[in-house]
Amino acid sequence: MNTRTEHDSMGEIQVPADKYWGAQTQRSSANFRIGVGLETMPAEIIHAFGILKKAAALTNHELRPEKMTDAKLAAVCSAADEVISGKLAEHFPLVVWQTGSGTQSNMNTNEVIANRGNEITGKELLHPNDDVNMSQSSNDTYPTAMHIAAVLALEERLLPAIDLLTGTFRRLEEENKGMIKSGRTHLQDAVPISFAQEISGWRASLEKDAELIRRSLPPLCELALGGTAVGTGLNAPAGFDTLVAEKVSSLTGMPFAAAVNKYHALTSKDELVFAHGAVKALACDMMKIANDVRWLASGPRCGLGEIRIPENEPGSSIMPGKVNPTQCEQVTMVAVQVMGNDAAIGFAASQGNFELNVFMPVMAYNFLQSVRLMSESIISFNNNCAAGIKAVPEKMHDNLHNSLMLVTALNPYIGYENAAKTAKYAYANNCSLKEACVRLGFLSAERFDEVFHPEEMAGE
């Protein structure tokens, strides 16, 4: 392998000649051989670093034009744009399991932008620390990158996915109006409900989850950038924090702003915990919806069988013709992963000591994994399962009319205790509620027919 010599404050080191990273990235790559190739810094974080480095250069050019000259600005912006586009992805090799402040990933970005910028200009114009990292510290850039990445992931990936599935449920509600079925509580028969009403519960859950996620966005839009090492803003010019937040907003189209208290912004990660809590709430609801769907579709002959879902692939290597609710299963597994990630994020956020939290890479990794998995899981569930849900009216009708809990409709006419006796008699003697009620002498057959209308009990 061809190498070139790079140096940092610790001395010289050999770096692959075809890579833009420098000495500090190389040292980190050698020192943290943990999850290499599998658990690298998320692409969303690298994308966010490109945005904030460009925004910082634009801000420094306005506030420190003697240091961030026109030539340097052009070089930084050109290289940062390539980072933002993902063109330079191969030059970011570092794993999540590094320093808890994310310093090496900040320096990885600084080195790549400096070396690529110098290559673009054809001269040694940029220094990774003095120019690309001007007015910044890893301690304020990494939490800024986390917030930028989190906001973009929620806005651009997760919320649209939720809207997609919500739209499907809204369509299914309209298609299934008036279709009455047995309700179920405690996994036992309950009073009637319409299938449209049942679906509306799924839809409303998703709408509430989307609302909770949107409520988490304003705190995430507050950026630590400008606090530098410990929150004091040392080595950053006056007004840097507010102006750089404006630049980030302009580059992303999102309403980012400078965090009012930088000491809080560097050490507390409550905004990320809060936002992930909303993602976990979505995971909980998706778990419930997926379980409802696979229960309702259970069978095809020995289960509830009230709905049919698309048959996507064979379900068994030994049982011919078996088809399983695999999309429901992937949703529930993803939900479990998100719940585990939430625990990790909570533990990590609790470990801010003095002026800095040093668990940030694992928080960013788990947060972005949760958002990515939930987004892709919901889209897959929508396209391969929910969109093809079909009611089985005959099965719904049979289950409804076999339900002993229809006796609830008789409460106003024969009272709770007599209704309970009717249900128990019908169950013990394997007869209909009508037969039981008449045999017990509570109502005549004619009066029973007058008051007993299961299809009207749902109140749709």
* DSSP-derived 3-state class of residue 450: helix
Which token pair is 15? 């770096």
Sequence length of the chain is: 460
Helices 23-31 and 103-121 cross at an angle (nearest 10°) of: 140
Which token pair is 365? 């990794």
Pairing type for strands 222-223 and 257-258 reads parallel
Q: Is the dihedral of CA 66, 67, 69, 71 positive or negative?
A: positive
Give the C-alpha separation, 418 to 416, whole Å.
6
316 included as an active-site residue: yes
Q: Is the dihedral of CA 65, 66, 67, 73 positive or negative?
A: positive
Give the C-alpha separation, 374 to 412, whole Å.
47
Residue 226 phi/psi, 5-degree rounding, is 110, -15
At residue 67's C-alpha, the angle toward residues 62 and 72, to 5°, is: 85
Residue 356 phi/psi, 5-degree rounding, is -155, 140
Up-side HSE of residue 131: CA atoms within 13 Å toward CB? 26
Set 7, 85, 250, 316: catalytic member:
316
Q: How many CB atoms lie within 10 A of CB 9?
A: 7
Q: Are 73 and 57 in contact (CB under 8 A)?
A: yes
Question: Would you name the residues annotated as active-site residues?
Answer: 186, 316
